Amino acid sequence: MMESEFGLAHASAMRQFIQFADEAGLDLRSLCPPDLYAHVERAAEAEWLPASAQVDVLQSAAISSGREDLGVAFAMWCNIRGFGPISLLWDHCATLDEATRITRRYMHLESAAMRSSTDITGHEAALRHVLMVPARFGGEQYLQATLTLQLRIARMLLGEDWVPIRLELDQPASSGVGHLKAVFRCPIEFGSDRCAIVFRKSDLHRPSPRANPNMVRYLEQQLAQVDSQWPGDLLQQVRYFIATNLAERRANLPHVAGLVGLSPQSLQRRLADRGTSFAIILEQVRKQTADEYFRTARRPNLTELSFRLGYTDASAASRFLRQHMSTGARALMAQSRPRAQIGTQRLAS
């Protein structure tokens, strides 16, 4: 599968990271494999890069330099308004819920590397981040960076004293946990089945003193105009919107048709003209999501996979693997281990 099929990311994030690395004394040419460094060089002129490039460059630079805090340090250093039109909206939003809603709706205009969802359990809310692209060396640094950006957005809206209930990470505890505690100022739960910031549900709707509804309406209109022209290929649009709505269990025909600006009937007709259907694309995206999950997750489990595939329980994910991929979770987990080891060995060499 071609790299571009996994989606693109605006080069502004890579350009910010290059500047950060320069100021931090990190030589990306020596820290990254040559094929990855080629994307670093392209960022100076290109508007778009493969979404996986930012993930892989950040992770490989962290591994090679021994900087376990690299993702968090970059996210704390960067210009929070320097990631494109979505980032201009954040400090004008009335609530954290509004900021996350707009980000979810238009994230594809900035990067296809990550998507977010809001999980509500009792009096707690969790802003969960999920990696949506292949990660050759792991995605821990990228996810820590995006969660740190989420923290900065929340504090921009609710005040610098705002503290989450806890931070959940799906990775094992490391010796570099100190930098996470210093930034998030809350307990950290390692080995979780998700990567998320957990906080009081009431904070979602707490009014921000910085709110500017007129500016939000204006910027959202601009985003909608850009969105109407992205991307030109209908199949790419449908694949993207299915992938980004799976976890919220909204990857259904009526919802996706609305996102691409068509009625369900019109979308089905246009897909039929291209020799496919919504159901076929949905199955393809789920297969790709499952394959990439087992290729990149350090500790794959059916509970997390079921969430990513848009199911409510692990048994549904298990049935999908048997029915559509002619295998089971145990076999895919066994296959994922040697591939992960090979990727790490390649970076080390």
Q: Report how far residue 270's alpha carbon sits from residue 218's, in angstroms, rounded to the nearest whole number.
A: 32
Of residues 337 and 179, more confidently modeled? 179
For the cut 80, the answer to whether the pLDDT of residue 44 exceeds it is: yes
Q: Report how far residue 289's alpha carbon sits from residue 297's, in angstroms, rounded to the nearest whole number.
A: 11
Average pLDDT over residues 44-68: 93
Contact 172, 205 (CB under 8 A): no
User: pLDDT tens digit string along 263-311?
Assistant: 899 899 989 988 999 999 999 999 888 887 887 777 778 888 888 899 9
Q: Report how far residue 303's alpha carbon sits from residue 144's, in angstroms, rounded to the nearest whole number.
A: 21
User: pLDDT tens digit string along 100-138?
Assistant: 999 988 887 888 888 888 999 999 999 999 887 778 899
Helix then strand then coil, % of the chain, to nearest 5? 60, 10, 30
Maximal CA-CA distance, the chain: 56
Single out the residue of 166, 109, 169 nearest to residue 141, CA to CA: 169
Per-residue model confidence (pLDDT) at position 345: 47
Within 10 A of 17 (CB to CB), how many other CB atoms are there?
24
Say which DSSP state 32 is in: S
Contacts of residue 325, Cβ cutoff 8 Å, sequence gap at least 6: 287, 290, 291, 332
Q: Is 283 exposed, middle or buried (0-12, 13-18, 19+ CB in 10 A)?
A: middle
Of residues 339 and 259, more confidently modeled? 259
Rg (CA), the chain: 20
Average pLDDT over residues 23-31: 97
User: pLDDT tens digit string along 175-217?
Assistant: 668 899 999 999 999 999 889 999 999 999 999 999 999 999 9
Q: How confident is the model at residue 21 (pLDDT cuts 50, 70, 90)?
A: very high
- Could you give the dihedral angle defined by the CA atoms of residues 84, 85, 91 and 97, in that order, rounded to the nearest 10 degrees? -110
Within 10 A of 248 (CB to CB), how many other CB atoms are there?
16
For the cut 90, the answer to whether the pLDDT of residue 1 exceeds it is: no
Q: Report how far residue 152's alpha carbon sits from residue 185's, in angstroms, rounded to the nearest whole number.
A: 13
Within 10 A of 254 (CB to CB), how many other CB atoms are there?
11
3-class SS at 168?
Answer: strand
Per-residue model confidence (pLDDT) at position 328: 62
Contacts of residue 85, Cβ cutoff 8 Å, sequence gap at least 6: 106, 109, 110, 219, 222, 223, 226
Task: Work out the mean pLDDT of the chain and round it to a whole number.
Answer: 87
**CB burial readout 314-323, b (16+ within 10 A) else e:** beebbebbee
Q: What's the pTM value of the predicted model, to 2 decimals?
A: 0.75
Domain architecture of the chain: domains with CATH: 67-205 (no CATH), 231-348 (1.10.10.60)
Q: Report how far residue 187's alpha carbon sits from residue 210's, in angstroms, rounded to the nearest whole number.
A: 28
Say which DSSP state 111 is in: B
Inter-axis angle of helices 96-106 and 213-227, nearest 10: 10
Q: How far is CA 242 from the centre of its chain?
A: 14
Alpha-helical segments (H) within 198-300? 213-227, 234-245, 253-259, 264-273, 278-296
Q: Report how far residue 224's alpha carbon sits from residue 67's, in angstroms, rounded to the nearest whole number.
A: 39
Q: Report how far residue 192's alpha carbon sits from residue 170's, in angstroms, rounded to the nearest whole number.
A: 4
For the cut 90, the answer to whether the pLDDT of residue 341 exceeds it is: no
For 255, half-sphere exposure in the C-beta direction (CA atoms, 13 angstrom radius) is 15
Single out the residue of 146, 17, 29, 25 nearest to residue 77, CA to CA: 17
